[in-house]
A and B are shown apart, each in its own frame.
Chain A
Amino acid sequence: MAVAEAYVPTAAPPARRDRAVRAARGRLDWLAVGLLVLVTLVALAAPLLAPHGPLDPVGTPTAAPGTEGFLLGSDSVGRDILSRVLYGLRSSWLAALAVVTFGLLFGGLVGLVAGARGGWVDTLLMRLTDGFLALPAPVVAIAVVAALGPGLLNTLLAVSLVWWPFYARILRGEIRTLAARPHVEAARLAGTGGVRIALKHLLPGAIPAAVVTASLDIGTLVLTLASLSFLGLGQSAPAPELGADAARNLSYLLQNWWIPVMPGIAVALLSLAANVAGDGVRNLMSGR
C-alpha cells in the first residue's frame, strides 16, 4: 500500500522562447529596481557631485542653461542651479524614504499586532487608524506644520504622522486574510505559539504587499513633500529645496523659465524613477 508517487515537480520547464521572454522582462524589472539604488546613491553623494556650494553665488545671475559653465543655468543671484537641484534632490529623496520607512515600521507593527492579535486590540487600533485615514493627509500635514512652524524636521514629523495609518491598514488587511487561511490553524494545532505564528506564519506573507505598496508610494510622497515645500512649509529661505525653489522664483517664469522649471523637472524625474521602480518591484514580487 501507499506506493510512493514519483516526485515530479508540478511545473514543467517552460519552452525556451518563453523562458527568454520572461527572463528579458525580469531583467527590465531588476533594472527598474536598480533605479531606486541609483537615485539613493546620487542623493547620498550630492555633496560630491555638485560642482558648487548650493548657497554660493558663483557667477552671472540668470545665466541660461549650458552657458557660462552652468549646466542648468544660474538663478537670480548667480547660484548654480544644478548644485541646488542636487542638494534639493538629496533632501527630497531622503525625506520620502524616511517617511516610507517610518510608515512601514510603525504602521506595519500596528497592522501586525492588530491583525495577528484580533479581538478588542484589533478594534481599538483600527478605529484609531480609520480616524486618521478619514482625514485628508495633506490637509492635516499643512495644519500641523503651520502650527509647529515651517522646517524640514516639522514637515517630516507632520507627514509621518499622517502617513503611517495607510500602512497599518494594508498590513492589517493582509494579515487578517492570511489569518483566516487554514495554515494558521494548522500551525496552532501543531502547538506553535502566538508570537511564532505571527512572525513565521503570518508576517512573511504580508511582506510582499507591504514592500510593493511602499515602493509605489515613494513617488506620491516625493510629490506631496514637494507641494508642501512649494507652499512654504519646508526649510527656510536660502536652503536648497526643490518645491520652494520653484515657488520663490515664480516671478522669473516668463523671462528666465529655467529658474523655477528646473527644480520642478527634478521632482518629476524623482517621482518617475520611484514609480518605474515601484512597478518593477511589483512585477518581481508577483512573480510575473
Chain B
Amino acid sequence: MRAPLAPPTTALVAEVVDLHVGFTRNGRQVEAVRGLDLQVRAGEVLGLVGESGSGKSVLSLALLGLLPEASQPRTRGVVRVAGIDMLTASPQVRRQVRRDTLGAVFQDPMTSLNPTMRIGRQVAEAAGSGAEALRLLRAVGIPDPERRLGSFPHELSGGLRQRVMIAMAVAGHPALVVADEPTTALDVTVQAQVLALVRRLRDDIGCSVLLITHDLGVAAQVADRVAVMYAGRLAEVGPTAAVLQAPSHPYTVGLMKSRLSLTTDRHRPVQALRGGAPDPADVPPGCGYAPRCPLAMDPCSQTVPDPLPVGTSAHLRACLAEPSRVQDLALTAAPVTAATAVPAQRVDAGWAARVGGIEKTFRVKAGRGRKATLSALRRVSLDVREGESVAIVGESGSGKSTLLRVLAGLEQHERGEVELGRGGRPQMVFQDAGASLTPWLTVGELLDERLRTEGLPRQERRTRALAALAKVGLPEAVYGARASELSGGQRQRVALARATVVPPEVLLCDEPTSALDVSLAATVLNLVQQLRRELGMAVVFVTHDLSVARIVADRIAVMYLGRIVELGDAEEVIRSPKHPYTKALLAAVPDFGVAPPALKGEPASPLSPPTGCAFHPRCPLAVPDCAQPSLDVGLERLRVGADLLLDADSRRVACIRPKEL
C-alpha cells in the first residue's frame, strides 16, 4: 500500500540547493555534480534515476557527509539534512547526523559488510543493543534471526546480506534512508522482495527513502516521486505517475524507449540513445544532453536550462524545447525495415548444436576445510537449430553460464553428450567484454590471431579484420588500439568482431549487456541481431532478464538450479508462462506502476538442491509429492491423460502437476 502523497507543504528532511561537487581524479578536474536542487519530503520515497557518471552516487555521499577526502572534493551550495549543512559542518556534527537522522544502504552487500565481524555485532553497532539488533533482523524478514546473529557475512546469501544492510540503515529510526542501487547486485526475484521490504519499512517507520537506481522501472515501482539526473544536473522531477505518463525531458523519453520491457516490439530494432554520456571531466557548455538530444536547437549548446514547472507546480523539467515536441518524440517509433525483421524460422533446419543429458559438478570449498559438490547442471538437454536464437534465462546459481561454457568447450562435463554441427567450435562473447580482450595486445593482433588459425596470408588477414570491424560499426583506427583506449560499447563491439571474423555456426553470448548502461545495451542487442541475420549463425544467449530474452530469442529456456524447467517459443513463454518459476520470474520484472508479488524464499543453494523438484520450497503449487527424493522431473509436453494441453508443439515444462498450470 502506498502512503498518500505528501502535500507540498510538508517539512523537508533533506534539501539540496545549487550543489556543485568536483573532484581531482588522476590529475584531472572532474565535475560530478553541476548545480543540483532537490528536496526530500518527510515520509516519501524519492526515486533518483541516472546512468553511470550522472553524479547520483556522489549526491548520496554528499548527503551522508562522506565525500571521499582522498579525491579532494570541491563543493559549493548547500546540502541540508535535519537543519545541518553536511558540506560545512564539522566531522563530529556530521557524524552525529548520520547517527541520529540518516541510514544508508549501498549497492554491493558483499563488500559493504565487514567480513571479519559477526552480523549481530555489526547490527548492534548501529542499533545500540543486541536485543534491538535481533528485533531489527526479525523486522527485515531474516529467517532464524537468533542463529544469524552469530553468522559472518560470507555465510549469507546476497539477498540476506542486503536485508542486514537495511536493518542497520533503519536502526534508530532515521528520518532519511539513502539507498544507493540497493538491488542492482541481486537476482530479480530477490530484488522484488527487497523493494517490497523497503516500501513496507517506509510505511512502518515513516522514514523518507532516497532510492538511487539506474533503472527507471525500479524507481517507478516504489517511488512517490521520481527525479531524473543527467551529467550532474536534474533533467526532470515530479510525481511518479506524471513523469511516467507525460515525460517532459527528451532524456527521460530516451530512457523509457531504450528500456526493454515485456511489451517492447520485437520486430523493430531497440531504440538506442545516440552516443554516450559526456565525460565528467569535459562537460560541454549548455545543456549536458544536447549532443545526444534529437530535439537539440542552437541555444541548447550555450544555455544551461533550469528546472521549471510543467503543468502542475510539482512537475519540473530542465529543457528548452517545447513540451509538445517532447510529447511527439515519445510517440514516434523506429520504422520496421526489411533488414530488421527477425528471420522466419527455417522449418527444415538441421541442428547446429545439441546437448543431451549433460551433468556437471564442481568441487568447492564448503568452509572449515571441507569440500562439497556443487551440481551446476543436472541432466540438461537442448537442441539448437541452424540459424536459430535460443535464450537461456535464469538467476544466479541456475547453471545457465555453465551450460554455455560446456557448449563452448571451456568446461568438461561428466555425463551426457555435446554434439556440434559441421561449423566447428562455437565462438563466445563474454559478459565483461573489456576483460575478454588481452590488455596489452591491439585489436588488430587479436583479430589476426583468430584468422591465423584459418591459415590465411598476412595481407588477407588484415583485410578481413578491417572488414569485420566495419561490420560491427567500428572505424579502422580501432585496429591499432588496445582495450584500455576503447569505451565500454566499443569493447563489446570488438568482442563481437573477434567472435565473428571467422563466422561460427553458433555464437554464444554470456550476458553481454548486463554490465552496460541501458542505452548501450540496446545497441549491442541490435548488433547481435544484425550479425546473426547477416552471417546466418545460431545464437545462444544467456541472460537473467526475460525482456532481453524475448527480444533476442526465437525460443526461451528457463533454468532453475541446474535444470531447464520450461522451454518454448519466446513469445508464447512470455505471453502464457506455465511453470510456476517462470511465472514468478515474469512477475518480478520491474515495470512501470506495477508492484510485483514477491516470490517467497531465497533461491536454494546448488550445493544442496532440494530433493525432488528443486523449486518446491518456493512453489505455490507444491504438494508433498514434489519433495519425493525419487522424483526425477524432466521436461514434458503438457498433457493430462492423452490430451495435449497446449497445441504449441515446441512447449515443454518440467512439472508433475500439469493440470494446475
- Interface positions of A (Cβ within 8 A of B): 1-12, 14-15, 18-19, 21-22, 181-183, 185-192, 196, 200-201, 204-205
Contact = CB atoms under 8 A, between A and B. Distances in A.
B453 A190 contact: yes
A187 B449 contact: yes
Contacts of A205: 439-440
Given A2-B530, A5-B490, A12-B279, A182 B432 contact: yes
Interface in B456-511: 472-475, 477-478, 485-487, 489-490, 493, 495, 498-499
A12 B490 contact: no
A14 B410 contact: no
8 contacts: A2-B472, A3-B473, A5-B489, A10-B487, A181-B435, A187-B449, A189-B425, A204-B440
B527 A187 contact: no
A2 B438 contact: no
B285 interface: no
Contacts of A11: 485
Contacts of B86: none
Given A7-B474, A12-B281, A190 B450 contact: yes
B430 A18 contact: no
Contact of B425 (A9, A21, A191, A200): A191
A12 B485 contact: no
A7 B477 contact: yes
Interface stretch (B21-29, B354-362, B578-586, B620-628): B21-29
B526 A1 contact: yes
Nearest to A6: B275
B276 interface: yes
A189 B427 contact: yes
Interface in B412-430: 425-428, 430
A22 B27 contact: yes
A183 B434 CA distance: 8
B437 A4 contact: no
Contact of B449 (A7, A8, A12, A192): A192
Contact of B453 (A7, A186, A191): A191
Interface residues of B, number: 53
B269 interface: yes
Interface in B562-595: none
B157 interface: no
Contact of B436 (A7, A9, A15, A186): A186
B412 to A, nearest CB: 12
B453 A192 contact: yes
Contacts of A1: 269, 339-340, 526-527, 530
Interface in B328-367: 339-340
Nearest to B28: A14
Nearest to B523: A2
Contact of B27 (A6, A21, A200): A21
B69 interface: no
Contacts of B487: 5, 8, 10
B269 A7 contact: no
Contacts of B439: 183, 205
A191 B485 contact: no
Contacts of B498: 186, 190
B438 A201 contact: yes
B473 A9 contact: no
A18 B72 CA distance: 14
A187 B441 CA distance: 11
A5 B469 CA distance: 12
Nearest to B279: A12
A182 B473 contact: no
Contacts of B495: 186
Given A1-B269, A4-B474, A187 B438 contact: yes
Contacts of B449: 187, 190, 192, 196, 200
A23 B29 CA distance: 17
A12 B435 contact: no
Given A183-B436, A183-B438, A186-B437, A7 B450 contact: no
A111 B450 CA distance: 27
Interface string B392-428: 0000000000000000111000000000000001111
B282 interface: yes
Contacts of B474: 4-5, 7
B266 to A, nearest CB: 15
A204 to B, nearest CB: 5
Contact of A189 (B408, B473, B523): B408
B500 to A, nearest CB: 12
Given A1-B339, A2-B527, A7-B477, A189 B428 contact: yes
Contacts of B274: 3
Given A1-B527, A11-B485, A190-B449, 20 more contacts: A1-B530, A2-B472, A3-B473, A4-B473, A4-B475, A7-B474, A8-B487, A10-B279, A12-B281, A18-B27, A182-B436, A186-B430, A187-B449, A188-B410, A189-B428, A190-B427, A190-B446, A190-B498, A191-B453, A201-B441
A113 to B, nearest CB: 20
A194 to B, nearest CB: 13
Contact of B478 (A7, A10, A22): A7
A8 B485 CA distance: 9
Nearest to B531: A2
Contacts of A7: 474-475, 477-478, 490
A2 B473 contact: yes
Nearest to B524: A2
Contacts of B26: 14
Contact of B437 (A8, A14, A183): A183
A14 B438 contact: no
Contacts of B269: 1
B30 to A, nearest CB: 10
Given A1-B339, A12-B279, A18 B530 contact: no
B350 to A, nearest CB: 23
A179 to B, nearest CB: 12
B485 A9 contact: yes
B27, B340, B409, B450 — most chain A CB neighbours (10 Å): B27
A1 B436 CA distance: 25
Nearest to A181: B435
A11 B279 CA distance: 9
A231 to B, nearest CB: 42
Contacts of A190: 427, 446, 449-450, 453, 498
Contacts of B29: 15
B529 to A, nearest CB: 9
A92 B425 CA distance: 56
Interface string B198-213: 0000000000000000
B552 to A, nearest CB: 15
A15 B29 CA distance: 8
A1 to B, nearest CB: 5
Given A15-B29, A187-B449, A191-B425, A10 B485 contact: yes
A12 B282 contact: yes
Interface in B234-283: 269, 274-276, 279, 281-282
B279 to A, nearest CB: 6
A10 B435 contact: no
B276 A5 contact: yes
Contacts of B339: 1
Contacts of B281: 12
A35 to B, nearest CB: 26
Nearest to A203: B440
B129 to A, nearest CB: 43
Nearest to A17: B27
Contacts of B446: 190
B637 to A, nearest CB: 35
A6 B274 CA distance: 11
Contacts of A185: 410, 428, 430, 436
Contacts of B477: 7
